[in-house]
Amino acid sequence: MENRFERNFIIDNNEAVLNIENAAIFLGISTATVRNWVKSGYLQTIREDAKYLFHRKEVENIKSRIKNGDIEKLNKRANKSKTNKTFIPEEYIQDGVSFNELNSIVNFIKINSVSLLPALLLIALNLLKKEKILLKADIQDIIQKKDLFFTNKEIEGEIKPWILEIESEKIKEEFSFLLDCDIPQQRDVLGFLYQSILHEGEKSQSGSYYTPSNIVNEIIVNYVKKDSKVFDPCCGTGQFLLAFSDVIENPLNIYGIDFDKIAVRIARLNILIKFKNKNFIPNIICKNTLLEVGNYDLFSLKDKSIKDFDIIATNPPWGVHFSGGDLEKLNKFYPEIKSLESFSYFLKKSIDLLSEDGIISFILPESILSVKTHKDIREIILNNSQIIKIVYLNRVFKNVFTPVIRLDIKKCKGIKGSIQICKGDKNYFVKQKRWLNNQDFIFDIHADGVDAKIINKIYQTNHTTLKNRADWALGIVTGDNKKFIIEEAREGFEPIYKGKDVEKFVLNKPMNYIKFLPEKFQQVAPWQVPIF
């Protein structure tokens, strides 16, 4: 059988033809979305008997139409990963820092079309002047690549290659504002600006959104000690690493990895500035934690204890679109993870790298608690750790509508206690053993101890369930309501109930109509089954 991850395309009559996986990668969407586009008529397959094979030109055409805005619906819904929009992550700003000052820098970069790397370099040099690490520098020094004088040799070693790799014509005299403007006292100001300039599509594609400072600080207060050895496996620009450094005295006990070269460069600079009076090389490197990092070769083969971290804390990427080649490796390295979900891989890897009794604190989507797809990682957590605390954070990321939780676990064998659940002003404890007995190992944080006792008491009485006595169905998902739903009765159309028409024990009068064409819809419940 052909290995579907090794081939980028197949050949049919001397023309390139994409299979469903590669069409999805090319468009930056999931395979499920590709199927839905086929059902909705947006994508045409090469022939009826080859349901999910596409002429490359067909896929290129729809990508071009989306980019040009010709297909508004797909541009809104499915192509967030391609958007060129930017937004300022206000939740990332520390208390007391002026949003207007930061916004003025971001606006200058956008209005003057300053490229990403030159913009970040000039702000970095400005910051180093402010910290008295760079003695002096003006815009002509940078354009002409003159020698600059630093008080810290390691920082000089980080900055000089950055200057040399940027073409002189990309730095203009009028950009001197960035070299001399006031920079607010914001932790990771470079990371903030990078996040603000980065296109939303790039954030969506990598699954990366930065974490509000108050959430990070609470993790540090709860678990980090001055001699802790800590690690962020997807460190970005070093937000968690900087928070670690507020407590940890030895910078060599702070480790970080990320696959984003620019983010790693910023993170290394951040830690060097934080410990500017110490002589050291940061343990922050650019690698793929999931695929390139073994248990003993993270930073130095000489350090055999590198595996045993006391604390691993991060906001891992969610819903990353992995390439076919990466998926094949992930299946080999993490056979227990069937969901192909990025945050599950990071959790499994972190458990492996943690010391016994070490702590993991991750920011995760609420879906990890109960969605069946994530049964695999829930079982791994329950069998390899004690869950210490789950904090329900709700929606905390700008432009991300997914509710969020914080999951804190301790690596240990055997279940030793209860789990603290924090929801707003409510705090209660539940037994971890209860979750081991739940179907699909669901973490039912919304049922406290009293709720669980009531439910158990109900089940202990004589009762009848709907199992094998009912058929469950979602109903109709058109895939495009504007195309199929109308608001007035017409010949051939029949009333349809929307979710808002359904209340407890009552069906309100439907106000919309549909022509029933099940073969055209994204999803349809079995309509041949009689309803009683």
Q: Which among 43, 33, 8, 84 has a CA at the least distance from the CA of 319?
A: 33
Give the pTM.
Answer: 0.74
Outline where DSSP puts E strands in 436-518: 476-477, 485-486, 494-496, 502-503, 506-507, 512-514
Read off φ and ψ for residue 250, nearest 5 degrees: -105, 115
Residues 65 and 47 sit within 8 Å (Cβ to Cβ): no
Compute the distance between CA of residue 390 and CA of residue 403 in angstroms, rounded to an integer.
13
Compute the distance between CA of residue 150 and CA of residue 128 in angstroms, rounded to an integer.
9
Residues 377 and 334 sit within 8 Å (Cβ to Cβ): no
CB within 8 A of 79, min separation 6: which ones?
27, 28, 29, 66, 201
- Say what the pLDDT of residue 65 is: 77
- Say what the pLDDT of residue 401 is: 66
Compute the distance between CA of residue 146 and CA of residue 137 in angstroms, rounded to an integer.
9
Pair of tokens at residue 137: 């520098």
Compute the distance between CA of residue 381 and CA of residue 387 in angstroms, rounded to an integer.
8
Pair of tokens at residue 61: 């055409």
Compute the distance between CA of residue 375 and CA of residue 380 in angstroms, rounded to an integer.
9
User: What three-state secondary structure class fits 64?
Assistant: helix
- Say what the pLDDT of residue 90 is: 60
CA separation, residue 187 to residues 96, 123, 198, 270 (Å) = 12, 14, 18, 9
Compute the distance between CA of residue 339 and CA of residue 386 in angstroms, rounded to an integer.
22
- Say what the pLDDT of residue 29 is: 75
Ramachandran assignment for 406, one of left (phi > 0), alpha (psi -120 to 50 degrees), beta (any other): beta
Q: In angstroms, how far is the first alpha carbon of the chain from the final one?
A: 47
Mean pLDDT per segment of 10 residues, for the chain of length 532 residues? 33 58 75 78 74 82 75 52 51 60 86 91 94 89 87 93 87 90 84 77 48 88 95 94 96 95 96 95 93 61 62 91 86 92 94 94 94 94 95 77 90 84 91 90 89 86 86 80 91 90 89 90 71 50
Pair of tokens at residue 395: 């929606």
Q: Are strands 512-514 and 230-232 parallel, antiparallel or unpaired?
A: unpaired
Rounded to 10 degrees, what is the CA torsion of 296, 300, 301, 306? -30
Count of C-beta atoms within a 10 Å radius of residue 277: 6
Residues 155 and 189 sit within 8 Å (Cβ to Cβ): no
Q: Which among 159, 352, 153 has a CA at the least distance from the CA of 266?
A: 159
Q: Which among 404, 350, 388, 358 has a CA at the least distance from the CA of 211?
A: 404
Compute the distance between CA of residue 13 and CA of residue 521 in angstroms, rounded to an integer.
31
Residues 359 and 311 sit within 8 Å (Cβ to Cβ): yes
In the chain the domains, ranked by start, together with CATH numbers, are 10-82 (1.10.10.10), 99-183 (no CATH), 206-455 (3.40.50.150), 476-524 (no CATH)
Pair of tokens at residue 49: 């008997």
Compute the distance between CA of residue 340 and CA of residue 338 in angstroms, rounded to an integer.
6
- Say what the pLDDT of residue 354 is: 94
